[in-house]
A and B are shown apart, each in its own frame.
Chain A
Amino acid sequence: MLRVEGVEKSYPGAEGPVPVLRGVDLALARGETLALTGESGSGKSTLLHLTGGLETPDAGRILIGDENVGTLSDRGRARLRRETVGVIFQQFNLIPSLDVASNIAFQARLAGRHDPERTRELAEGLGLSPHLAKYPEQLSGGQQQRVAIARALAARPALVLADEPTGNLDETTAETVLAAMLTLVRESGAALLMVTHSDRLASAMERRLHLEKGVIA
C-alpha cells in the first residue's frame, strides 16, 4: 500500500539547509497499522506530511499504490489527498463554519463518495450522533477530534495518516478516541500510519518504527 524509499528532506536555516529526513525507508501493507515514534524534531511529522502529499521530498520516492507522490503535480496531490488518503491532525482542523454532520461528510463529498449511511455509522460509532447539528466551537476537544476521525474515514481512504491525534486530549479521552479510531480503521480495511511520541499509544499499533535524527533507528 505505502512504500517510502530513501526519502530526504531539508528546510532552509540561518546557516544553510537543515536536514530533517536523511534517507528514510518504510513499507505499510493494506489493513496494517504502524506507529512512528520519535523525539520532537526527529522528522516524524515531516514524513507524515510528505506521505500525504502536503509537501514534496528533496530525494527518494513515496509510493501509494502505484503512484509516486513526489512526482505528482499540485492538482494530482490534491486528488490523492481527496480520494486515497485521510489525514487526522493534532489540531483537528475542522471547518468552523460548517456543522458536525457537514464536516464529517465534507471530504467524502469532495471525492464524490458521499454515503449518508456511512456518515451515520461513523457518527454513531464515535458517539457523535447527538452532536450532528452543532458547530465545532460547541464541542469539547475530544469530540472535535472524533469528528476529524470520522471525516478522514468517511471517504473510505486506503491510507489514514494521523499526526499526534490525541496530543491535545487528556489521557482518558485519548484512550477512548484512539480505541474508536483503531476499531473504525480496522473495519474499513485501511492502512494506518500514526505519528506519536507516546510509547503507550504506539503499543496499540501492530508495528512501530522509531525515527531518530532523520533516520529509522
Chain B
Amino acid sequence: MTREGLRALLSHWRRNPLQAFTLVAGLALATALWSGVQAINAEARASYDAAAATLGEGRFAQIVDSDGGEIPMDTFVELRRSGWLASPVIEGRLNGVRIVGLDPLTAPGGLGPVNLDSGTEVGTFLGGEGQVFGQTEALDAIGDLGPERVADPDVAPMTVVTDISVARELLGRDGANRLILSPDQPMGRPELSEIAPGLSLRPAQGGTDVARLTDSFHLNLTAFGFLSFAVGLFIVHGAIGLAFEQRRPMVRTLRAVGMPLNRLVWLMAVELLGISLLAGLIGVALGYVIAAALLPDVAATLSGLYGAQVSGTLELRPVWWLAGLGISVLGTAAASTAALRDIARMPILASARPRAWAMRQAGGRWLRIGGAAGLVALAAVLVAVTEGLAPSFAALGALLVGAALALPLVLDACLALAARGARSAQAEWFWADTRQQLPGLSLALMALLLAMAANVGVSTMVSSFRLTFTGFLDQRLAAELYVTAEDEAQAERITEVLSPEVRAILPVQWVERDVAGLPAEIYGNRDDATYRENWVFLEAREGAWETVFAGEGAVINEQLYRRAGLSLGDEIAVGPGTRLPVVGVVGDYGNPIGQVIVAEPLFQRLYPEVTAQRYGLRTDRPQEIRDLLREDLGLPEGQIVDQSSIKAFSLQVFERTFTVTGALNVLTLTVAGFAILMSLLTLAALRLPQLAPVWALGLTRKRLGGLEMIRAVMLALLTTLAALPLGLALAWILLARVNVAAFGWRLPMYLFPADYAVLAGFAVLAATLAALWPARRLARTPPGELLKVFSNER
C-alpha cells in the first residue's frame, strides 16, 4: 500500500515537471544562497581560529604596556624570576606578512599550530639561522630572508611563525609587544604593579579579537543569506501550496479507495523529505560555487575593513554539507506545514475542485493588517530606543516582514481604486480579475518587494558610502604627488632638493600602538594649511588645528572615537608619559583601526627612532617635479605616485569591498524574478476556468494573453513603487545604525533617483520576461482546451 501510495503521489510530479522544477529549483536556490554565505563565514572563522592558534590571541591572559609601547626583555626576565609564568611575543610586518616571534620553551600554547615533536627539529628552530613556518603564500611573499622556510598549512593566512630571536632580528626590535601568561600561575607571586608599574594585565577573552571585530561583518552576510533564503522559501511555499491544492482530487480519490489518512500524510511528508534532500544537495553544490566565487572578494573586504587575513580558497567541510541539507529540510518543513495540516484536516468528501488555491490566502485580512502594523511599529520602537547591531537587525527584520505582510493589502487598495474608474465591461472585468489573482501572486510579489527593497537599501548605502569616500579621498589626498624614499639618506636628499621647488613637503610618519585599549596608528603631521583647508571635522573644538600644532591636543578618527567611547576633551596616551586631550574627530572610511594625529615636533620627540620616508608634495607643477625626482634624484617611477593614481587605487579597493554585497543583491533579485515566473506559470493552469467564459463571451485568446502581460507588469511596477520607500528606510537603518555598530562610522545618506529608475526598469523587465511565457501559452491555448472547461469538471 505504501509503495502504491508513494507511486501515485510521485506520479503528480512526473506529470507536472514544471512544478517539480519550481519546487526543487526554489529550494535549491534558497539553500545555495544560505549555504554559500555560511561557507564564507565558516572559512573566515577557520582563518580567525588559525590566527588565534598562531598568535595566542584571546586564549590567554596577557601583559601589555599601559601606553601601548614595547616591553623590554629585562622586564620579562624580572617577571619570570618573580614567579610570573609569562612568555614574550614579538609581532610586526615585513613585506606585507605578519611575523610572529614566540619562545617555544615558555609559550603556554607551544608554537600554536606548528608541531615540533622531536628535539632535532627544536634544535633547528632555535639554532643557526632558524626556521619560519607559514602557508606557501606567506612564505613566497616574505622572500628569502635567511631562515629556512617551512610550509605549514595550519598557520594563519599571511602570517609566519618563528622563534623570538629570529623575529627580533627580522623586525629590528628589542622589546616584546606583549607577554602571554600561562593559565596556571603560581600562588603568592608579587603584584604586577610592584615589578612593572607601567604594564597592565589584559584578561583572557572568549573569542579572538579579530573574530569579535568581524562578527558584525559576518552578521551582515548572514542577514543577507537569510533574506535570500526567505525569498527562496516564498517560492517553495508557493510551489508546495499549489501542488497540494492541485492534488486535492487525488487525495480524495486515494482516501475513497482505501488509503488511510495518516498514511497519506506520512507519505506526503516522506515525499517532501526526499525532495528537500535532493534540492538540498543541489543547493549545497551551488552554494559551494557561489562561495568559491565570492570568497576572494570577501577576503579582500575583511582585509580592507578589519585587517583580518582570510584564506582565499574554500575547503569542503562536512559540517557545512550537513548544515546545508538541514536548512533545506527545515525550510521545506516550514513551507509545507500549513499544506500538510490542511490535507490532514480535509474532510474526505470535501470538494475536489482546486478551489481558487490562492483565494484562501485572502483570509485573515484584519489579522494581516494588525500583524503588519504591529511589526512596523516594533521596528520604529527598536530604532528609536535601542542601539547596537542585534536590535538594528531585529528592526530591519520587523520592518521587512511587516511591509511584506502589508503589500497585498496595499496593492488591493490600489486596484480597488483603479476599478472605480473603469468604464468599459472589459476594464471592469480586468480590474476585478486582477484583484482575484492578487492572493495567488502575493507570495511572489512579496519576494519581489523584499528583493527590491534590499537592492534599493543596500545600493543607497553603498552609493552614499562611495560618495562620502570619494569626498574623503579628496580631503585626505590633497597633495598632488606622493614620493617614497628608499632609505633615510634618500629621504634627506629629497627634502633638500624639493624644499625650494614645492609649496609644502608633508611627511607621512607613524607608529603603531594601543590607544585607549585599542590598536591604533599615531601620525606626526607637519603644520600646514593643507590640513586646515581640506580636512573636515565631524566634531571639533574651536581652533582644533592650532591646538594640535601647538602640541596641546590630538585629532582622532571616528572609529577610535566611537569604539573607545571618547568625547572631546578626553585625554588619551599618545606616547610614553604623554597624554593629550582630543580636540577634533575626522571621518576615516575604510580604515580598520584607530588613528591619532599629533604635531610633528611632538611626534619626533616621542618617537625619535621613526623617520619619515614618505612625503606628500604640494605643488602647482606636478609633472615638472616628477621629472625632477626621476631625472635629478634618480628615483624610479614606482616611488612616485600622483594623487589620481592613489585615488583610483583606493576606489578600486572600495569597489572590490562591495562586490560581495552587489553579487548577493543580484542573486536575490534573480530569485525573486524566478518566483514571479513560477507563480505565473503555475497559476496559468488554474486560470483556464476563469478565462474560458470571457473567451466564450468574445475576447480573443491573443487579447487575453496581452491582458495577462499587462497585469503582471502593472503588479510588478506597483510593487517596485512600494519597495522604494521601504528600501530607503532600510538604507537609513543601515547607515545610521548598522554601520555605526559594525564599522564605527556614520555616513550621510544621499538619494540616487537615476539608480532607482534603472532598478525599477530591471524589475519591470524581469516581470515582463516572466509573464511572456505564460501569456504566450495562453494566447496559443487550443480552443478545445478552453471548451473542456464547459464539458466537465477537469
When the two chains form their complex, are residues A112 and B348 in contact, meaning their CB atoms are under 8 A apart? Answer: no
Shortest distance between the CB of A194 and any CB in chain B (Å): 17
Q: Which residue of A lies closest to B258 (CB)?
A: A82
Give the docked Cα–Cα distance between A49 and B348 (Å): 10
> CB within 8 A of A81: which of B14, B257, B794?
B257
Give the docked Cα–Cα distance between A112 and B404 (Å): 50
> CB within 8 A of B257: which of A74, A107, A135?
A107
When the two chains form their complex, are residues A151 and B257 in contact, meaning their CB atoms are under 8 A apart? Answer: yes
Shortest distance between the CB of A118 and any CB in chain B (Å): 16
Q: Given the complex, which residues of B lie within 8 Å of A74, measured CB to CB?
A: 260-261
Shortest distance between the CB of B560 and any CB in chain A (Å): 66
Q: Does A186 contact B (CB under 8 A)?
A: no
Residues facing B in A81-119 (CB within 8 A) are 81-83, 87, 89, 91, 93-98, 102, 106-107, 109-112
Residue-by-residue, is A106-141 near B (CB-CB < 8 Å gives 1, otherwise 0)?
A: 110111100000000000000000000001110001
Give the docked Cα–Cα distance between A105 and B249 (Å): 18
> CB within 8 A of B11: which of A49, A97, A137?
A97
- Given the known A-B contacts A82-B259, A98-B8, A141-B791, are A110 and B1 also in contact in the complex, defined by CB atoms under 8 Å? yes
> CB within 8 A of B15: which of A81, A94, A96, A110?
A96
Q: Given the complex, which residues of B lie within 8 Å of A91, measured CB to CB?
A: 352, 792-793
Shortest distance between the CB of A64 and any CB in chain B (Å): 13
Q: Given the complex, which residues of B lie within 8 Å of A95, measured CB to CB?
A: 8, 11, 250, 253-254
Residues facing A in B243-292 (CB within 8 A) are 249-250, 252-262
Q: Given the complex, which residues of B lie within 8 Å of A102, measured CB to CB?
A: 7, 11
Q: Does A174 contact B (CB under 8 A)?
A: no
Q: Given the complex, which residues of B lie within 8 Å of A204, measured CB to CB?
A: none
Q: Does B776 contact A (CB under 8 A)?
A: no
Q: Does A182 contact B (CB under 8 A)?
A: no
Q: Which applies to chain B's interface (DSSP): helix, strand, loop or mixed?
A: helix
Most chain B beta-carbon neighbours within 10 Å: one of A78, A98, A111, A168? A78
When the two chains form their complex, are residues A49 and B352 in contact, meaning their CB atoms are under 8 A apart? Answer: no
Residues facing A in B344-377 (CB within 8 A) are 348-349, 352
Q: Given the complex, which residues of A lie within 8 Å of B259, measured CB to CB?
A: 78, 82, 110
When the two chains form their complex, are residues A135 and B258 in contact, meaning their CB atoms are under 8 A apart? Answer: no
- Given the known A-B contacts A78-B258, A110-B257, are A54 and B792 also in contact in the complex, defined by CB atoms under 8 Å? no
Q: Does B702 contact A (CB under 8 A)?
A: no
- Given the known A-B contacts A96-B15, A96-B249, A96-B250, are A111 and B261 also in contact in the complex, defined by CB atoms under 8 Å? no
When the two chains form their complex, are residues B349 and A49 in contact, meaning their CB atoms are under 8 A apart? Answer: yes
Give the docked Cα–Cα distance between A38 and B5 (Å): 36
Q: Does A3 contact B (CB under 8 A)?
A: no
When the two chains form their complex, are residues B250 and A54 in contact, meaning their CB atoms are under 8 A apart? Answer: no
Give the docked Cα–Cα distance between A136 and B794 (Å): 10
Give the docked Cα–Cα distance between A102 and B261 (Å): 21
Q: Does A55 contact B (CB under 8 A)?
A: yes
Give the docked Cα–Cα distance between A98 and B256 (Å): 16
Q: Does B604 contact A (CB under 8 A)?
A: no
Q: Given the complex, which residues of A lie within 8 Å of B249, measured CB to CB?
A: 93, 96
Shortest distance between the CB of B16 and any CB in chain A (Å): 7
When the two chains form their complex, are residues B349 and A55 in contact, meaning their CB atoms are under 8 A apart? Answer: yes
Q: Which residue of B lies closest to A105 (CB)?
A: B4
Give the docked Cα–Cα distance between A112 and B1 (Å): 7
Shortest distance between the CB of A46 and any CB in chain B (Å): 10
When the two chains form their complex, are residues A78 and B261 in contact, meaning their CB atoms are under 8 A apart? Answer: yes
When the two chains form their complex, are residues A89 and B8 in contact, meaning their CB atoms are under 8 A apart? Answer: no
Give the docked Cα–Cα distance between A182 and B261 (Å): 31
Q: Given the complex, which residues of B lie within 8 Å of A136, measured CB to CB?
A: 794
Q: Does A213 contact B (CB under 8 A)?
A: no
Most chain B beta-carbon neighbours within 10 Å: one of A80, A83, A91, A111? A91
When the two chains form their complex, are residues B15 and A54 in contact, meaning their CB atoms are under 8 A apart? Answer: no
> CB within 8 A of A79: which of B258, B262, B348, B791?
B258
Q: Does A75 contact B (CB under 8 A)?
A: yes
Q: Given the complex, which residues of A lie within 8 Å of B260, measured CB to CB?
A: 74-75, 78-79
- Given the known A-B contacts A54-B256, A91-B793, are A97 and B14 also in contact in the complex, defined by CB atoms under 8 Å? yes
Q: Does B45 contact A (CB under 8 A)?
A: no
Q: Which residue of B lies closest to A109 (CB)?
A: B4
Residue-by-residue, is B136-175 near A (CB-CB < 8 Å gives 1, otherwise 0)?
A: 0000000000000000000000000000000000000000
Q: Given the complex, which residues of A lie within 8 Å of B349, measured CB to CB?
A: 49, 54-55
Q: Does B476 contact A (CB under 8 A)?
A: no
Most chain B beta-carbon neighbours within 10 Å: one of A107, A141, A168? A107
> CB within 8 A of A89: which of B256, B261, B791?
B256
Q: Does B12 contact A (CB under 8 A)?
A: yes
Give the docked Cα–Cα distance between A96 and B249 (Å): 9
Give the docked Cα–Cα distance between A55 and B252 (Å): 13
Shortest distance between the CB of B193 and any CB in chain A (Å): 79
Q: Which residue of B lies closest to A98 (CB)?
A: B11
When the two chains form their complex, are residues B258 and A110 in contact, meaning their CB atoms are under 8 A apart? Answer: yes
Q: Which residue of A lies closest to B353 (CB)?
A: A91
Most chain A beta-carbon neighbours within 10 Å: one of B5, B7, B252, B258? B258
Shortest distance between the CB of A67 and any CB in chain B (Å): 14
Q: Given the complex, which residues of A lie within 8 Å of B257, measured CB to CB?
A: 81-82, 87, 106-107, 110, 151
Q: Given the complex, which residues of A lie within 8 Å of B254, measured CB to CB?
A: 95
Q: Which residue of A lies closest to B16 (CB)?
A: A97
Give the docked Cα–Cα distance between A189 and B38 (Å): 66
When the two chains form their complex, are residues B252 and A93 in contact, meaning their CB atoms are under 8 A apart? Answer: yes
When the two chains form their complex, are residues A97 and B256 in contact, meaning their CB atoms are under 8 A apart? Answer: no
Residue-by-residue, is A53-89 near B (CB-CB < 8 Å gives 1, otherwise 0)?
A: 0110000000000000000001100111111000101
Q: Given the complex, which residues of B lie within 8 Å of A49, measured CB to CB?
A: 349
Q: Which residue of B lies closest to A80 (CB)?
A: B258
Q: Which residue of B lies closest to A86 (CB)?
A: B257
Give the docked Cα–Cα distance between A168 and B258 (Å): 24
When the two chains form their complex, are residues B15 and A135 in contact, meaning their CB atoms are under 8 A apart? Answer: yes
Q: Which residue of A lies closest to B13 (CB)?
A: A97
Q: Given the complex, which residues of B lie within 8 Å of A107, measured CB to CB?
A: 257-258
Most chain B beta-carbon neighbours within 10 Å: one of A54, A87, A97? A97
Q: Given the complex, which residues of A lie within 8 Å of B262, measured CB to CB?
A: 75
Q: Given the complex, which residues of A lie within 8 Å of B4, measured CB to CB?
A: 106, 109-110
Give the docked Cα–Cα distance between A16 and B696 (Å): 41
Give the docked Cα–Cα distance between A94 and B8 (Å): 11
Residue-by-residue, is B765-794 near A (CB-CB < 8 Å gives 1, otherwise 0)?
A: 000000000000000000000000001111
Give the docked Cα–Cα distance between A60 and B8 (Å): 36
Q: Given the complex, which residues of A lie within 8 Å of B11, measured CB to CB?
A: 95, 97-98, 102
Give the docked Cα–Cα distance between A54 and B254 (Å): 12
Give the docked Cα–Cα distance between A76 and B793 (Å): 31
28 sample A-B contacts, Cβ–Cβ < 8 Å, listed by A number = A49-B349, A54-B256, A54-B349, A55-B348, A55-B349, A74-B260, A78-B255, A78-B258, A78-B259, A81-B257, A81-B258, A87-B257, A91-B352, A93-B252, A93-B352, A96-B249, A97-B8, A97-B11, A97-B12, A97-B16, A97-B250, A107-B258, A109-B4, A110-B1, A112-B1, A141-B792, A151-B257, A168-B792
Additional 17 contacts, C-beta under 8 A, given A89-B256, A97-B8, A97-B250: A52-B256, A54-B256, A78-B260, A79-B260, A80-B258, A82-B258, A83-B258, A91-B792, A93-B252, A94-B253, A95-B250, A95-B253, A97-B11, A98-B11, A102-B7, A106-B257, A141-B791
